[in-house]
Structure 1
C-alpha cells in the first residue's frame, strides 16, 4: 500500500514538474518576445500565474518534501525491523 502511494505521488510530481518547466520556458520566451515587440502571450502568462502556476509550484515543493519524508520513514522502519 505504501509503495503504491509513493509510486502515485512520484508520478504526479513528475507530471507536475513538466507543467512547471513549461511555464518557465513560456515565461522566458514571452519576455524575449516582449523585448523584440513580438506578442508571445506574456499577458496571458501573467493572468495564469496566480491561479495555475503558483499552486503548481507549491504542490511540487510540498510533494517533494512529502516524498522525501516518506522515503526517510520507510528507511528508518526497514532498518529497525532488521
Structure 2
C-alpha cells in the first residue's frame, strides 16, 4: 500500500471549528476509533474494514479514502472545502 495515494483531507471534529487533517490510512483508522460520532456505525464499520484492507495491501489507499469520505458525509461530519477531489 502506498500511503501517498491517500490525499489529505480536513474535517471538523465534534467541536465546532476544531479541524483535523487526515493524511494516511492509519490516520483515518485513528480518527474512526477515537473521534468518530457514535451514531451511524454502519458507515464507520465499512470505512474501518476498507482501511484495514488497504493496510494489508488488499485495497488501495485511494479506495479507502473514498470510503472514509463517504462515511464521513453520511455521518454528518463536515469536510473542509477543497479536501474532496476526485
Q: TM-score range by the shorter chain?
A: 0.3 to 0.5
Greater percentage in strand: 2
Q: Which structure shows the higher helix fraction?
A: 1
Q: What's the TM-score once normalised by structure 1's chain length?
A: 0.35
